[in-house]
Amino acid sequence: MTQTEDRIPLSTEDTPLVPIEKIVSLCKRRGFVYPNSEIYGGVSGIYDFGPLGVELRNNIRRYWWWSMVQTNDNVVGIEGSIITHPRVWEASGHVDSFVDRLVDCKNCKRRFRVDHLPKENLEQNKCPVCGGELTEPRTFNLMMETYIGVVEGERMKTYLRGEACQNIYLDYDNVLKSSRMQVPFGICQIGKAFRNEVTPGNFLFRQREFEQWDLQFLVHPSEMQKWFEYWKARRFEWYKGIINHTDRLHFREHGPDELAHYAKQAFDIEYRSILGWQEWEGIHWRQDWDLSRHSQFSGQDLSYTDPETKERYIPWIVETSGGVDRTFLFLLLDAYEEEPPSDKDKEGRTVLRLHPWFAPVKVAVLPLQKNKPELVTTAKDIHKRLQRLMVSQYDDVANIGRRYRRQDEIGTPFCVTVDFQTLEDQTVTVRERDGMTQIRLHIDELPAYLLERVRWDYNA
């Protein structure tokens, strides 16, 4: 086979932090993300995903599910509902404690979360933007209310879930009884969560409707520390494995004043972008908070009996909780690069150096010229063959250089070009996105060559 044998190298060289506006513009222009209800003026903190966005999103979700559920014998998955019994949110502590404290600047009218204010501004009661006086803090609950039932007076008020993981505690006993899991084991879920964020912003970073992934790992209390360290390390490596700029990742431990009401200890995996160091995933020591509270509020015994020792106890929980949307945003911020003109590309280009696993389109098939029916037919045949195996795009609009650039900008790792030589010897050019290197391959070798390069990596 005439090919380079290595997997695509990921760029480790540091590049300038990408302004968020560039990502917002690319997302709108190329069909990754659109503002929700745009024709009505939009709703802040809510977004829709376009044709490329939905592919990227699905790839992100699938990779997490594959690496957290399908490749771990001691982890299973569930998919719970968005709406639950309202008592769930009393038991979980969200009705009482899921709040943000806000202050307003009396002068410039800007609004700030108290926990986001620099210490000196808080102490001096001074606006960080204009120096004006701040109001007394006010408290807002973040839960989104909704109603079940149609008849006024009989309707039951409940909430859209404020964190997706509550379903896992609700289903934990059913999972135990219907699977052969024994402590220690984990339950995973990916699902939407809703929060009336008072300061949504920074594009997908802080939204009102977003998607979370959770692992709730149930352990014997005596093993809590061991498993907490285990998942902390594993999740960090997971994130390291999906980005180019691994030096933009670190842990930050929560101080006692910022711990969520359910957590005894918490570490954030943070990513550094133009937004500064920001949380990507939280690793929480939830202990027995959730199962004890649900036992107490529901009157159901949620303790576990060890099949060998017969010891009865409420399992303690290590939670790893991250965001699909933040992964989407951080992957784009990490992968986006504007390359100046070079010998390889005279005009310069914008390239998304996404890992091939995540790339929305894996391969583009391009006839060298649109007006040569033999080239077009062969290219369409190849596209149809590849489409059965991966997302392939056929493109014959504009000159070949522009078509390459179009694919680079959306992160397509491979372009296959059908030219006049193809008609003679059935070989095509395969161009690789990052290095812009080109090799020639026989058409029959293409599927195996590409599949090997876009499949999940088992060593990740």
The count of residues interacting with ligand GAP (CB under 6 A) is 19
The CA distance from 333 to 327, in Å, is 10
Question: Binder to ligand GAP among 100, 163, 334, 337 (CB under 6 A)?
Answer: 163
214: β partners: 189, 321
Question: Residue of minimal CB distance from ligand GAP?
Answer: 323
CB of 268 to ligand GAP, least distance (A): 7
Site for ligand GAP contains 417 (CB under 6 A): no
For residues 56 and 32, the answer to whether their CB atoms sit within 8 Å is yes
**Binding-residue pattern over the window 356 to 395 for ligand GAP, x denoting contact by CB under 6 A:** ----------------------------------------
- Whether omega for the bond prior to residue 184 falls within 30 degrees of 0, making it cis, is yes
Question: Binder to ligand GAP among 8, 60, 127, 165 (CB under 6 A)?
Answer: 165
Q: Where are the alpha helices (DSSP H) in 206-335?
A: 224-240, 289-298, 324-335
CB of 282 to ligand GAP, least distance (A): 4
For residues 179 and 76, the answer to whether their CB atoms sit within 8 Å is yes
Count of C-beta atoms within a 10 Å radius of residue 271: 25
User: SS3 for 198?
Assistant: coil
The CA distance from 422 to 66, in Å, is 38
Q: Which residues contact 274 (CB under 8 A, 6 or more apart)?
A: 17, 18, 19, 20, 333
Site for ligand GAP contains 80 (CB under 6 A): no
CB of 86 to ligand GAP, least distance (A): 18
Position of tokens 């310069």? Answer: 348
* Chain centre distance of CA 349: 26
CB of 17 to ligand GAP, least distance (A): 19
Instruction: Using only the alpha carbons of the chain, give its radius of gyration.
Output: 25
Nearer to ligand GAP by C-beta: 197 or 432?
197
For residues 412 and 350, the answer to whether their CB atoms sit within 8 Å is no
CB of 206 to ligand GAP, least distance (A): 4
Of 453, 240, 437, 278, which is closest to residue 357 (Cα–Cα)? 453
CB of 209 to ligand GAP, least distance (A): 8
Helix (H) or strand (E) run with residue 378 in it: helix 373-387
Q: Which residues contact 411 (CB under 8 A, 6 or more apart)?
A: 335, 351, 352, 353, 354, 358, 359, 360, 361, 433
Site for ligand GAP contains 100 (CB under 6 A): no
Question: Binder to ligand GAP among 55, 100, 270, 281 (CB under 6 A)?
Answer: 281
Nearer to ligand GAP by C-beta: 11 or 58?
58
Question: Binder to ligand GAP among 57, 161, 326, 362 (CB under 6 A)?
Answer: 326
CB of 101 to ligand GAP, least distance (A): 16
Question: CB burial class (10 A; 0-12, 13-18, 19+) of residue 276?
Answer: exposed
* Binding range to ligand GAP, per CB under 6 A, among 30-38, 273-281, 338-346, 446-454: 273-281
User: Cα 366–368–372 angle (5° rounding)?
Assistant: 110
CB of 167 to ligand GAP, least distance (A): 11
**Binding-residue pattern over the window 190 to 209 for ligand GAP, x denoting contact by CB under 6 A:** -----x-x--------xx--
Give the amino acid at 31.
G
Site for ligand GAP contains 279 (CB under 6 A): yes
CB of 322 to ligand GAP, least distance (A): 5
Question: Binder to ligand GAP among 325, 395, 408, 419 (CB under 6 A)?
Answer: 325
User: SS3 for 173?
Assistant: helix
* φ and ψ of 35, to 5 deg: -65, 140
The CA distance from 278 to 270, in Å, is 5
Site for ligand GAP contains 322 (CB under 6 A): yes
Nearer to ligand GAP by C-beta: 317 or 446?
317
Site for ligand GAP contains 184 (CB under 6 A): no
Site for ligand GAP contains 413 (CB under 6 A): no
Site for ligand GAP contains 53 (CB under 6 A): no
CB of 92 to ligand GAP, least distance (A): 10
Question: Binder to ligand GAP among 186, 191, 323, 411 (CB under 6 A)?
Answer: 323
CB of 212 to ligand GAP, least distance (A): 5
Give me the residues that bind ligand GAP (CB under 6 A), please: 163, 165, 195, 197, 206-207, 210, 212, 214, 279-282, 319, 321-323, 325-326
